């Protein structure tokens, strides 16, 4: 089995944010071991300063050997009672638990931090 790692999403913006975890555009993500489960296809609401923590694993076998795990999340910020939806941020991770943001949507601020493969990772959102 690949190395799992904790992935935390933190809302550092002074507004509410909805997170839409795309259920269709993912690859080699071992959904049987994700917590919370289901993670894909779900929406989460985070207030200012709130976080969501999940644990991710890359699927082994089933055509995934040698391939990256992939998923994407779209944030919608609630600003002055209006919804401001942004493009999906894509993520790619390996069997050692190393994760990277693939490209950066230019319409909102975010930072992905991880001390090293297999260690906890945090994606911090801002506006």
**pLDDT, tens digit only, all 127 positions of the chain:** 677 888 999 999 999 999 998 888 888 887 656 666 677 888 999 999 999 988 888 877 767 776 788 899 999 999 898 898 888 899 998 888 889 999 866 688 899 999 988 899 999 999 8
Report residue 76 as tokens: 């919608």
HEC states along 61-98? CCCCCCCCEEEEEEEEEEECCEEEECCCEEEEECCCCC
Determine how β-strand 121-126 pairs with β-strand 5-11: parallel
Report residue 64 as tokens: 């995934």
Domains of the chain and any CATH numbers: 5-126 (2.60.270)
Q: pTM for this structure? A: 0.88
């Amino acid at each position: 089995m690949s190395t799992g790692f904790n992935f935390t999403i933190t809302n550092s913006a002074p507004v509410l944010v909805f997170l839409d975890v795309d259920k269709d555009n993912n690859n080699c993500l071992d959904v049987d071991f994700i917590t919370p489960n289901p993670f894909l296809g779900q929406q989460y609401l985070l207030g200012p300063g709130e976080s969501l923590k999940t644990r991710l694993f890359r699927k082994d076998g089933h055509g995934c050997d040698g391939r990256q795990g992939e998923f994407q999340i779209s944030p919608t910020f609630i600003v002055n009672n209006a919804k401001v939806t942004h493009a999906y941020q894509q993520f790619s991770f390996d069997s050692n638990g190393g994760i990277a943001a693939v490209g950066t949507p230019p319409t909102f601020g975010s930072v992905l931090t991880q001390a090293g493969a297999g260690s906890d990772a945090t994606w911090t959102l801002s506006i």
